[in-house]
Amino acid sequence: MAIVNGLSVDVEDWFQVGAFENVLARGDWDHLPMRVERNCDAVLDLFAQAGVTGTFFTLGWIAERAPTLMRRIAEAGHEMASHGWAHERVFRLGRKAFREDLARSRKVLEDVSGAAVRGYRAPSFSIDARTPWAYEVLAEAGYAYSSSVAPVVHDHYGWREAPRFAFYPLAGSDLLEIPVTTAEVGARRLAAGGGGFFRVLPYAFTRWAIRQVNAEGRPAVFYFHPWEIDPDQPRVEGAPLRSRVRHYTNLRRMAGKLQRLTAEFRWGRMDVLADAERRRAVRPAA
């Protein structure tokens, strides 16, 4: 029986990408054309054709402005989960502001989708060694799981020492952390759970990585963004060349790659994956 992997979409628009934050201020967002609704509808069509369900980690900022989209996502059988309010990284918020960010986004997500929110993904995988309080805040707020850690080194994110697979970050709590997928090549650990790596590198890299993880008996956790299937999005001038190259490469090929990926492996919601991983998840040393 093939392993069911976790399929996730980080619902944010083309102007909310972390790599562009020094060019596009939050105050500008309301003056820019939103494309997330049509892009998400295309993702919903793609998932429906593939017969898969997944989790939509959504910004509160988006849910407030596209409420009917949230309802369409939930009614199609997908999980509605939180990606925070306006893509502020957790280590920049601090404990109190993080608690407020979580509460504000969850309220609007639940109000407009009609579904309960049990899962959270930190913007830019920004839970790491700098935020020991973050899991306490998530547990107090009653979240069942987080998928907020990238156990690799990367120029924008990463917590190299974190476990590769599901673990309980707090003693005495059932809050589960499910890191995004990495693959191991010898002593090296590579980000392999999607994002730019999936879009920029050949499809065969991700296929190899997911097969490797499944051969270890574990589910892969894959993510992408709605803007990644939108070749016609406005181009952001003035961002660093490296960020622009990463952002705009292979947008036209992304939908086809996703069709291949969803056909080749089994996929499901992150909350279902979390429940399946609980038995095997690592507990912290007492």
CB burial string 252-269: b at 16+ within 10 A, e below:
eebbebbeebbeebebbb
CA distance linking residue 160 with residue 155, whole number of Å? 12
Q: Choose between 3 and 191: whose C-beta lies nearer to Zn ion.
A: 191
Instruction: Give the x-and-dash track for 66-105 against Zn ion (CB under 5 A).
Output: ----------------------------------------
Name the residue with the smallest CB distance to Zn ion: 10
Q: Choose between 12 and 101: whose C-beta lies nearer to Zn ion.
A: 12
Among 10, 128, 228, 271, which residue sits at the site for Zn ion (rule: CB under 5 A)?
10
Q: Choose between 10 and 13: whose C-beta lies nearer to Zn ion.
A: 10
Instruction: Give the x-and-dash track for 108-137 against Zn ion (CB under 5 A).
Output: ---------------x--------------
Q: Choose between 135 and 227: whose C-beta lies nearer to Zn ion.
A: 227
152-211 positions binding Zn ion, by CB under 5 A? none
Least Å from the CB of residue 52 to Zn ion:
21
CA distance linking residue 58 with residue 64, whole number of Å? 10
Least Å from the CB of residue 12 to Zn ion:
5
Least Å from the CB of residue 150 to Zn ion:
12
Q: Choose between 59 and 258: whose C-beta lies nearer to Zn ion.
A: 59
Least Å from the CB of residue 87 to Zn ion:
6
Least Å from the CB of residue 123 to Zn ion:
5
What separation in angstroms does the CA of 117 have from each of 103, 139, 216, 276?
A: 11, 13, 30, 18
CA distance linking residue 33 with residue 14, whole number of Å? 9
Residues of the shown chain interacting with Zn ion in the complex, contacts defined by CB under 5 A: 10, 12, 123
